Structure 1
Amino acid sequence: MRILLIVLLCNSFLVTAQQIPEFQLMRYDEDYSGLEKDTVRDWYHRLKYKKIGKNAYISFGGDFRTQYLIMDNENWNPDTQDNDGFMLTRWLFHADLHLSEKIRVYGELQSALANSREVLVPVEENPLKLHQLFMDYKPFQETPLTFRLGRQEVSYGSTRLISLRDAPNTRRSFDGVKVLFSEGNIKTDIFYLHAVVDKTGIFDDASSPDLRLWGAFSDITTAKKELHFNFYFLGFYNKNALFYDGAGTEKRYTIASRVFKNSGTWWYDLEGGYQFGTIGSRRISAWSIALATSYRFTSIKYTPEIGLKADLISGDKDNTDKTQQTLNTMFGPGAYFGMAAPLAPSNLMDIHPDLKLRFSEKITLSCDYAFLWRYSRGEGIYRPNMVPFFEHNDASSRYIGSQISGVFFYKANKHLSLLTGLSWFNTGEYLREVSPGKNITFGFASAQLKF
């Protein structure tokens, strides 16, 4: 019944929303001011653009996602067996108020629920929260400069270090200030933020001075917009950091750059970074290199696209010395290597061949096969929140295991998308040394509606 309701609503949207701009991952990036001169005046256009003054208008929108998930041997342990699976649902509803050409206020509520989940965690269960509430101020008419103050989503670059954390259930936000500059092919953000700590109650989330992020990010494109160059400088503070070689106050700095091309038949993405700073009395010296590339065969049936991803990510060599080589992904996506085995990209070597087939404009099949090793035998693996996965690390093997996955994606129209997928994780020698080492089987079905 719920899926039928979604389909009916979506068909209604489709009839009335032919000229509406495309939805963005960051919904505050959407601009509906062009609808002022649109001759269509149905209920959906009024929802997206309602003039309330000479230079003022308000826009409403939202996002509903429901997922059914089932997993055998979660975290490679049969004791966590969930025989009938569980449901994750998430509502997002926003209002975008433009008071003038200089002042804008954006607010968003989020509700994330984990039904039939035996152990509730905030990343899956957060019944109601003020997810975003910020004000934009543009002080100069001729200078493309914006000051943003308040609670906001943040995502940069490849999202390995700073992401929305969209996949698990509860999206991430920060409290703070940001300065945005955008002119021509150059976009630069400078920011100082406190992470909002998610909790499982209602309106009980608050930003923490113990978990901070600051820095600058620039995106520069070539004249034809074929190549993008990203440059990062990030500062990170965690008062209560925990690694395999102990706890401590972490002050970490990241310098990174990225070049990528995402148009045409050949696509590639190369990123590298270095981290330094301190954790207690230990010195940080960590690094990572990531490569992703793919080629699309446009003259072959189903337009097959063959790709390859690979990462080299440093880990700590010796937990008794004064140097920490563990790369910290800070605010990573939560499902970087897939939902069956949620690992942080830290102390890892991996290689992922993948294949994508387009059966039509609406139906896509994606498959990949990931092979994972520890970079350093001196350290274990980490959860996405950078907490050690296992209490001890006395294993000798590097090989973590492999994961094969397949996902069907159906985009009914711009509002409705359906996904279903299956993953199987085959444990390697390392996991059999430090855990029960059972293979993981994971399946899901998901529907998402945007308006």
Structure 2
Amino acid sequence: MRVILCTALGTALAFSWGATGADAQESLFMPNGYGVSSPAVMTHSESDSEWVSFCCEAEEPACDCPSCDASADGCGDEIGCGSGVGCGCPACVAAKKGAAKGNRCAQSHAGVFYANDFSYLKDPKYQGCCLGDGLKLMPVGNCGRFGTLDIGGQYRLRYHHERGMGRSSTTAPPNQGFLDTDNDFLLSRLRLYGNWKVNDNVRVFVEGIAADVSANDTYNPRAIDENYADLLNAFFDAKLTDEFTLRVGRQELLFGAQRTVSPLDWANTRRTFEGIRGLYKSGDWTIDGFYTNFVPVVPDKFDEADYDQSFYGVYSTYAGYEKATFDFYYLGYDNQTVGAPVATDFSLHTFGSRVWGTAGDGWLYEVEGAYQGGRQSGLGLDQSAGFITTGLGHKLDNMAWDPTLWFYFDYASGDHGDGSYNRYNQLFPLAHKYLGFIDAAARSNIISPNVLLTMKPQAKWDLLMWYYYLGTDSATDVVPGVGFAGAQNTTSTDFGNELDLIAKYSMTARSNILFGCSHLWAGSKIIGTTDPDFFYTQWELNF
């Protein structure tokens, strides 16, 4: 009955706008708490081995699980079945782990939906009811004989007004930025998934997407705007030991602060791969090894893996220190696409690490860097490049609106023409998250001191201001664009200055709306007639 009532109530509220459910977890636009980097995301759901499986064989029997010590754990006696959300001793486990406070369903959705966590529904003390809760942990078969099933997804609308950002058929070349272009368009995206956990050792996850764009007649859609109906994820997990899980199939990848590997949620289509992974977790170590092929988006066809683009590596995290966490990674990327420009025929090997944490009295820090070697086969040159990011932040707890101020310095090498190829390849990042939301500069041939300020004037409001100076490492090399290309000279290092502003309002636990605007003052390296302006507003609903 609780499942039926919760589903019906959530659905009704969804269409009343004022209670549509909001994603309070990390947002693409305000990532990881507005620049306060979070630990690496383990891109698989942890085993529920500590939970007792469904045990209902008749109506409302008692669960066959150990009784809990109320004095030690704050838990009651054995839990009854029949609620439709599972049974066992969830309250005890939650107490031992330190259950999340507040609205626990607001943190349920992760950067990749196969890592969503709905374990709070197993807590008999949980009294909330968020949109979609009634479609989670549903028993499959006779009272869960064949495991549980989660069904959910996301709907997102985003309106863009872009000036000087290219993508217009009225200019020559048609997609070039920093010219007098003016575009208005609406992006819509629907994601739906099913997560079937057969038991603690086997699960199947499938997620589809439908993405579309409505625009003025002169707008040329980006490659990341449209994908009419396709699969983002389609894999199965097999837990071979208590520490090791094998995953096979199509899967999104998300590691660390997403400077190197990300599903690119800013895109209307998202990014995915196809292959095999091994996920190991023991003590303070998590290690993720994978061999995959990139899956490019083809809007009107079923997306297939490109076997000329292989992406593989190992990403590990150590969390054994109280105030510091470390990432260590190796990432390999081979691109041998037939008929591609010579600059895209390469085999790259990136060795990197990251450390972040706190230093007491509200101080925060982050450092990430990588060296990139290999071969630019199409150019006949060896690769020798790298990047580094350093950040120092401070939480000003004694001030109104709880501001947090960060000072960052970003560097990525450019090509100097010294006999090897020095332009850093940013691989598959969430590029929109860094170096300006206008997406004029990739993490290549860049030198950027920047300042990030975040504030929270009220419980449901979050504000962000990010200012960048964008310079270049090499005047003779260009700065590759992310969202659009711009003509550049080879005599200047001054790319420009950018200011980004965002206001986000969390409507309810799983729905939010945000407003953003950005302006880039073009530097002397840019050849163009217009400084880009960007305004957007987005509504997002998770369920």
The 5 A counterparts of 1:350-429 are 350-384=448-482, 389=485, 394-429=489-524
**Cα distance change of structure 1 residues 70 and 250 upon mapping to structure 2, 3 Å threshold:** same
Q: Cα offset for 1:13?
A: 12
Matched, 1:122 2:212: no
Matched, 1:93 2:179: no
Matched, 1:208 2:302: no
Measured in 2, the distance between the counterparts of 1:445 and 1:7 equals 16
**Cα distance change of structure 1 residues 223 and 430 upon mapping to structure 2, 3 Å threshold:** closer
Measured in 2, the distance between the counterparts of 1:146 and 1:418 equals 37
Contact residue 89 and residue 112 of structure 1 kept, 8 A: yes
Query: Could you list the per-position Cα deviations for residues 112-166 of structure 1 after superposition, in whole angstroms to 9, with x for gaps in the alignment?
Result: 11111521233011111111100000123xx311000001110112211111111
State which drifts further: 356-365 or 129-138.
356-365
Amino acid at match of 1:251: S
Q: Cα offset for 1:236?
A: 0.6
Measured in 2, the distance between the counterparts of 1:11 and 1:189 equals 32
Measured in 2, the distance between the counterparts of 1:390 and 1:424 equals 15
Amino acid at match of 1:436: G
What residue number does 1:26 align with? 112
**Cα distance change of structure 1 residues 241 and 404 upon mapping to structure 2, 3 Å threshold:** farther
What residue number does 1:131 align with? 232
Measured in 1, the distance between the counterparts of 2:457 and 2:161 equals 27
Measured in 2, the distance between the counterparts of 1:309 and 1:41 equals 39
Measured in 1, the distance between the counterparts of 2:285 and 2:220 equals 45
Measured in 2, the distance between the counterparts of 1:306 and 1:41 equals 34
**Cα distance change of structure 1 residues 406 and 123 upon mapping to structure 2, 3 Å threshold:** same
Q: Cα offset for 1:241?
A: 10
Query: Could you list the per-position Cα deviations for residues 165-223 of structure 1 after superposition, in whole angstroms to 9, with x for gaps in the alignment?
Result: 11132111100000001122211100001011101215x21110111111100011134
**Cα distance change of structure 1 residues 56 and 34 upon mapping to structure 2, 3 Å threshold:** farther
Amino acid at match of 1:268: Y
Amino acid at match of 2:500: S
What residue number does 1:251 align with? 347
Contact residue 6 and residue 449 of structure 1 kept, 8 A: no
Matched, 1:328 2:415: no
Contact residue 13 and residue 44 of structure 1 kept, 8 A: no
Task: Report the secondary structure of 1:28's partner residue.
Answer: helix
Amino acid at match of 1:439: D
Measured in 2, the distance between the counterparts of 1:353 and 1:394 equals 27
Q: Which runs of 5+ in 1 are unaligned?
A: none
Query: Could you list the per-position Cα deviations for residues 387-438 of structure 1 after superposition, in whole angstroms to 9, with x for gaps in the alignment?
Result: 9x457x642010000011111011123201111011111010000xxx3241
Contact residue 466 and residue 499 of structure 2 kept, 8 A: yes
Task: Report the secondary structure of 1:155's partner residue.
Answer: coil
Measured in 2, the distance between the counterparts of 1:288 and 1:189 equals 22
How many pairs were matched up?
433
The 5 A counterparts of 1:32-431 are 32-33=118-119, 35-36=121-122, 38=124, 44-52=132-140, 53-54=144-145, 56-75=147-166, 76-82=177-183, 85-116=184-215, 118-140=219-241, 143-202=242-301, 204-224=302-322, 226-240=323-337, 247=343, 249-261=345-357, 265-280=362-377, 281-318=380-417, 322-335=419-432, 336-384=434-482, 389=485, 394-431=489-526
Contact residue 22 and residue 541 of structure 2 kept, 8 A: no
Contact residue 431 and residue 443 of structure 2 kept, 8 A: no
Amino acid at match of 1:194: N
What residue number does 2:20 align with? 10
Q: Which runs of 5+ in 2 are unaligned?
A: 1-12, 25-84, 86-101, 167-176
Measured in 1, the distance between the counterparts of 2:391 and 2:213 equals 33
Amino acid at match of 1:23: H
**Cα distance change of structure 1 residues 262 and 96 upon mapping to structure 2, 3 Å threshold:** farther
Measured in 2, the distance between the counterparts of 1:168 and 1:102 equals 33
Amino acid at match of 1:70: H
**Cα distance change of structure 1 residues 175 and 108 upon mapping to structure 2, 3 Å threshold:** same
**Cα distance change of structure 1 residues 112 and 6 upon mapping to structure 2, 3 Å threshold:** farther
Contact residue 178 and residue 486 of structure 2 kept, 8 A: no
Pair member with larger Rg:
2
State which drifts further: 328-337 or 59-68.
328-337
Task: Report the secondary structure of 1:273's partner residue.
Answer: strand
**Cα distance change of structure 1 residues 11 and 148 upon mapping to structure 2, 3 Å threshold:** closer
Measured in 2, the distance between the counterparts of 1:419 and 1:310 equals 27
**Cα distance change of structure 1 residues 351 and 437 upon mapping to structure 2, 3 Å threshold:** farther
Contact residue 240 and residue 250 of structure 1 kept, 8 A: no
Matched, 1:444 2:454: no
